[in-house]
Amino acid sequence: MGHTQVNGSFTVRSCCGYSTNDIKFSIMDPYGAGGFQSYGVVVGGMSFGWNTGTSEKYEMHFDNDWGRIRDENGCHPDPSNPSSHNKTVELSIREVAPATFSSLLTKINIIIGVAVVVGASLAVSVLVILRETRKQKQ
């Protein structure tokens, strides 16, 4: 398939009155072939667009490294840093891909197709009957 156009937007909501200016956002081809786009730090929310290239898959990454401590025990949230508080990301995505045979087999398309075939068959039948009727009258 490939060349799926992805458009979306998201809003970052924060608890406790803290800022939302500490989320980084990026989108990429999971196989590494289609590229990578980093939007950097997001303040409040944003809109984005991405074409997947030759794949229909993509990955979105949300990151917050500022509110973390790295020490001998690994990486963990720093409770004293305002960036380590909980955040909610409300995400809205719309994907538009080139039509394929299976994507065209929807219920409404099947109904329309049957209606067109039935209508065309009726029209041809009426024309044949009218022509035969005229021949018989002559």
pLDDT tens per residue across span 20-50? 667 788 888 877 666 778 887 777 788 888 8
- pLDDT confidence tier of residue 99, bands split at 50, 70 and 90: low
Domain, as residue range, for 24: 5-98
Same domain assignment for residues 107 and 59: no
pLDDT value of position 117: 92
Indicate the number of domains in the chain.
2
82 phi and psi angles, rounded to 5 deg: -60, -20
Q: Which pTM does this prediction carry? A: 0.53
pLDDT over threshold 60, residue 1:
no
- pLDDT confidence tier of residue 128, bands split at 50, 70 and 90: confident
pLDDT value of position 79: 72
Tokens (6 digits) for 126: 């009426």
Same domain assignment for residues 59 and 127: no
Same domain assignment for residues 79 and 12: yes
If DSSP codes are grouped into helix, strand and coil, which group holds residue 12?
Answer: strand
How many residues are listed for the chain in this entry? Answer: 138
Strand stretches in 54-96, DSSP E? 59-63, 68-71, 74-77, 87-96
Cα(68)–Cα(61) distance, integer angstroms: 17
Same domain assignment for residues 77 and 123: no
Tokens (6 digits) for 33: 């072939």
Same domain assignment for residues 12 and 75: yes
Same domain assignment for residues 88 and 131: no
Same domain assignment for residues 64 and 110: no
